[in-house]
Structure 1
Amino acid sequence: MRTLGILFLLFITTTSVFAQQKQWTLRECVQYALDNNISIRQSELDVEATDIEKMTAIGAFIPTVNASSNISENTGLSFNPVTNNAQTTTFLSSSGRINLGYTLFDGLQNFRNIQRAELSQLASQYRLSKMKDDISLFVANGYLQVLLNKANLDAIQTQNAVTLEQIIRTNQLVEGGQLPRGDLLEIQATDATEKQRIAVAENAVQISLISLAQLLLIKDYENFDIVDEGYELVQNEVALKTADEIIESAKQNRSEVKIAEKNVELALKDLQIAKGGYYPTVSAFFGYDTRFTNASSFTQVIDPNNPFSTQQVGVVEETGQTVVGQFPNTISQLLQPDPFFNQLYQNDGIAYGLQVNIPILNGFQTKANVRRNKINVQRSEFQLEQAKLDLESNVYQAYLDAEGSKKAYEAAEKSYESQELAYQYAKDRYDVGRTNAFDFSQSKLRYDNARIELNRSKYDYIFKVKVLELYFGIPATELKF
């Protein structure tokens, strides 16, 4: 058992270390951002809110049913809720009611509210899609920035390794009297400069990693790292298309235009809903109610001991004969309340009918609401036109940026090749003592700068092409690097 426990602890420790040392690929970073980014979560909540809006609009077609009840105890002079007679006593009473209502016509506002909710759903989904594209682009940019900084660090470290070899060789030549000590000092100064550049480059790598981790909401900065997969330039069909083709595809696929289009449709639907306020509203209603009380009551009954009495009712004028009649003798009798369920059945009642509300004058509220929505329609139409213009401008700018970065990369590549040949030539001359350390250091510095510029232009071009692909309509999760 003790051995098993030790093995288990070793397994947990190894797994924990492995998890901490995990290196992230670009696709993993993008997917993690899409799953955890706060802005995306907020946009997803907006989509859920539109689902509730649609549910509410559908609910307007369902009859409203409400039930109510009350119970009370009365003491003193009160009216019996069943007999409606005033009596001085203490009794318990209760009542219940069920009301049902249904809107038959409201100027088609209910139908248009459902249509508006569906449009609102589409608009929020487009906003979510745009948010995902933006976040994916931010992550890709941050990721490529880390790669650029790592590539620059590697270039400086590689060249510094060469410098260290040159220090050893130069020191041997100086001790042998073949080179002056000034050359050794020059190479050592170059090494110090490169060490400083290495420190700056390492700091740039750490800062870019922290920035990427913060974008991903990862708090373990110390163990966060990415995989250097050696991204190369990937020529695809988007990079070969013209600006007009990319602009036309962007207008059909990009969320910016779709959001503006849905906003226009929403404004038009709001205008229709506002105009519905001019029409009468017809609704039907049905109500059922009943009541109960435990109060006793009195009733008049015939006296069983003396059921009738004879009383004079008049006199015959001609004869003076008295006219008499028999009348029932009544006495008051106490009645106990009927059972609960009997009273519910005996005291119930229903009410039903139609109700029509005709708007005549409401302080110009409906008219003002219609005019306000007309203005919103015009404003949203202007925003749609502006969105199209902005998209066209942004796509064209991205196209020019991609073309410019491509030319810059090609120029940097040629410059790097030239500086590499020049550096190799200077190195060969320095190795045989035909050039001094200063000239060799300057050639090496130009070669280092050319390599760094090649890295910068390479990743800049990769990023600019990815921007074009997004504008062309390729989903962020399907971008190829």
Structure 2
Amino acid sequence: MNLKLIVLVFFIAIGSSTAQSKKWTLEECVAYAVEHNLSIEQFELDLENAKIDRSDALGALMPNVNSSISTSGNTGLSFDPTTNQPVTTTILTANGGVTSSLTLFDGLRNFNRLNRAKMNAIANQYRLDDLKDDIRLNVANAYLQILSNKETLKVLRAQYAVTEQDLKRTKELIQAGALPEGDLLEIEATAAGLEQQIVNTENLVLISRINLAQLLQITDYENFDVVDVDYEVPPSDILNKNPKEIFAESLTFRNDIKFSESNIDLAKEDLKITKGALYPTLSAFFNYNTRYSDQGGFDSSTGTFVPAESFGNQLWINDGISYGAQLNIPVFNGFSTRNNIKRAEITVKKAELQLEQDKLDLETNINQAYVDVTSFAKAYEAAQKTLEARQLAYNYSKERYDVGLMNAFDFSQAQSRVDNAAAEVVRTKYDYIFRIKVLEFYFGLPIDLE
């Protein structure tokens, strides 16, 4: 193998190792999810469509201009377009023109369509931002779930290490005759149970990593991982606010509420457009045309044949202009316009009701989040006290077990209670952290674990 190939393989290996050792922070996960989520990309395309609709509405306010040109040849009896006289020979003719029309008044429908297109672009932006908010929250939840499972795994492995020491100590006591050999089976059963919990928790870590990777649209599940950080419960002043204060603040910035409000504006604008059909429509038009023929004619004053004028001269000689205005007055159209207005009015009312429903849902979610924070705070505090008590009980049991005053079954039960209490502390801690972040999120604070 030559030197260049060795160097290339070396750098590829370094790059592969670096890629595999990459561990993601919460901020990186959130930013990546917002950038690569397929639903966000679809909503961004909807936003682009809304901007195109605005361009369409603006173009409807401008005059349209169209041009045309045609040429033809005829043999036999035909009419010369320049003289309107019949001819019985081969004739080559050409026609061209430019036509323009402009809507002067249509019940302000075109202006209202332009306003609606602007509002629709804003509404789509609110919808896109609301989706990004939901994704940020989902990513934070999935991220914290990984950390919770990892920390539980650390606790179980630490407990397993302690159990191994107990197992070693039990063998020594049995050899010394201080304990019966049956006690060894209880400790071994406890160790086997911990091994099973460790395997199950390792699977939970893998599943939670896959769940987060799917949110980020990452398919390399095996190499995807997050930074190993043991987060403590962050200080927060959010509980100094009552639910009504949080709700009042959320109404000022929540994108789902702004989206609902913009839907009301859109429905009202649609109502204006529909009512515009009750008014007359006034439009103006302008047309310029010219023609050419290769046929000459007789001059009646001299009685001689006059050849056809040149192509350029005929364009000026045979041109013409027409212009005018047209007024259309709606009289009766089978109640369709009136019924469309009624439908538009119903749509406005439905949008207003939807806004009220969204506000109620938001207030309910905030109240639930507030209750969750307080309840999980108490659960976390209770879990800590339980672990402390279980640990003291375990230490006391270990002292009795070491001197032969407790059998292996009771000792393994004491250790199992410590294991369960430690796992419960981890679970309630991360549940509490997430609920704090949810409540802060409703108050407008960014999702940040630092």
TM-score past 0.5 threshold: yes
Q: Determine if contact 2:186/2:409 at 8 Å carries over to the other structure.
A: yes
Say yes or no: does 1:149 pair with 2:118: no
Structure 1 residue aligned with 2:56: 56
CA contact under 8 A between 1:253 and 1:472: conserved in structure 2?
no
Give distance in 2, aligned partners of 1:414 and 1:94.
99
CA contact (8 A) 1:34 1:40 kept: yes
Partner of 2:190: 190
SS of the equivalent of 2:411 reads helix
Q: Separation in 1 of the partners of 2:246 and 2:233?
A: 20
Which residue is equivalent to 2:15? 15
Match of 2:426 in 1: 455
Number of the residue aligned with 2:409? 438
| Matched letter for residue 259 of structure 1 | F
1:4 to partner: Cα distance: 4.8
Q: Distance in 2 between matches of 1:373 and 1:208?
A: 47
- What residue in structure 2 maps to residue 299 of structure 1? 298
The alpha carbon displacement at 1:20 in A equals 2.4
Identify the residue that residue 179 of structure 1 maps to in structure 2.
Answer: 179
Could you tell me which of 344, 365, 375 is aligned with 2:346? 375
> Which deviates further from its counterpart, 151-160 or 69-78?
69-78
2:122–2:262: 8 Å Cα contact kept in structure 1? yes
- CA shift, 1:426, in A, is 1.9
Where 2:217 maps in the other structure, the secondary structure is coil
The whole-number CA distance in structure 2 between the counterparts of 1:144 and 1:31 is 16
Counterparts of 1:402-481 in structure 2, within 5 Å, are: 402-475=373-446, 478-481=447-450
State the AA in 2 paired with 1:355: Q
Q: Please give the TM-score of this superposition, normalised by the length of structure 2.
A: 0.95
Distance 2:307 2:169 in 1: 124
Which residue of 2 is the match for residue 93 of structure 1? 93
Task: Report the residue type matching 1:446 in the other structure.
Answer: R
Match of 2:288 in 1: 288
Offset, 1:354: 2.0
Residue identity matched to 2:27: R
1:427 Cα deviation (Å)? 2.2
Residue 204 of structure 1 aligns with an amino acid whose one-letter code is: L
Structure 2 partner of 1:110: 110
Structure-2 residue corresponding to 1:238: 238
**Alignment partner of 1:65: what SS?**
strand
Aligned residue number for residue 323 of structure 1: none
Per-residue Cα deviation, 1:13-51 (whole angstroms, up to 9, x for no partner): 201221123111111111111001111111111211111
Partner of 1:65: 65
Q: Which residue matches 1:164? A: 164
**Residues 425-452 of structure 1, C-alpha deviations (whole Å, 9 max, x = no match):** 2223323333222111111100110011
Instruction: Give CA deviations for 1:150-183 in whole Å, capped at 9, x if unaligned.
Output: 1111111111111112112211221222211011
State how 1:1-400 maps to structure 2 within 5 Å. 2-294=2-294, 296-300=295-299, 330=303, 333=305, 335-400=306-371
Partner Cα separation in structure 2 for residue 298 and residue 116 of structure 1: 60
The higher radius of gyration belongs to 1
CA distance in 2, matches of 1:243, 1:301: 100
Contact 1:69 1:96 (8 Å CA) reproduced = yes
- Structure number with the higher strand fraction is 1
Quote the offset at 1:302 in angstroms.
6.7
C-alpha distance 45-166 of structure 1, shift in aligned 2 (>3 A): same
Counterpart position of 1:316: none
Deviation at 1:297, TM superposition (A): 3.1
- Which 10-residue stretch deviates more, 164-173 or 456-465? 164-173
Q: d(CA) in 2 for partners of 1:373 and 1:194?
A: 65
Secondary structure at 2:240 match in 1: coil
**Aligned equivalents of 2:215, 2:203: Cα separation in 1:** 18
The answer to whether the Cα contact below 8 Å between 2:76 and 2:90 also exists between their aligned partners in 1 is yes
Question: CA offsets, 1:204-236, max 9 Å, x none?
Answer: 111111111111111111111111221221122
The question of whether the paired residues in 2 share the 8 Å contact of 1:65 and 1:100 is answered with: yes
Distance of 1:185 and 1:60 partners within structure 2: 87
Q: 1:190 to 1:231 in 2, by over 3 A?
A: same
* CA–CA separation in structure 2 for the residues paired with 1:174 and 1:73: 119
CA–CA distance in 2 between the matches of 1:237 and 1:353?
72
Hey, what's the Cα distance between the residues in 1 that align with 2:202 and 2:97? 78
Distance 1:393 1:302, change over 3 A: closer
Aligned to 1:308: none
The letter of the residue matching 2:79 is: F
Helix, strand or coil for the counterpart of 1:231? coil
1:97 partner SS: strand
AA aligned to 2:381 is E
Instruction: Compute the TM-score of the two structures, normalised by the length of structure 1.
Output: 0.90
- In 1, are the aligned partners of 2:107 and 2:281 still within 8 Å (CA)? yes
